[in-house]
Amino acid sequence: MSRIILDVRTPEEYAARHVDGAINLNFHDPDFARRISEFPKDVEYVVYCNAGGRASRAATRMKTLGFTDVTAYGIMGASVATGATVTYRREP
């Protein structure tokens, strides 16, 4: 089964640090539901934010849209769950 790592934070938060391989889709974007509905529903989703709050709300929303395999994490939990590293932006 395929897996998608979904970062539901703002683009600025994503740029500062993110789990390698994650797709950024801001949960607070008014088009979140429409955009996420375009994703395949038959894959595993690892959804994360900084601490897990937005990820939990996003996962709940995704489940109401028909996604069945969705787990919410904070960023470090998502890193552990996927085995992917967290990339940090380097300051100039």
Q: Which residues are catalytic?
A: 49
In SS3 terms, the chain reads as CCEEEEECCCHHHHHHEEECCCEECCCCCCCHHHHHHCCCCCCEEEEEECCCHHHHHHHHHHHHCCCCCEEEEEHHHHHHHHCCCEEECCCC
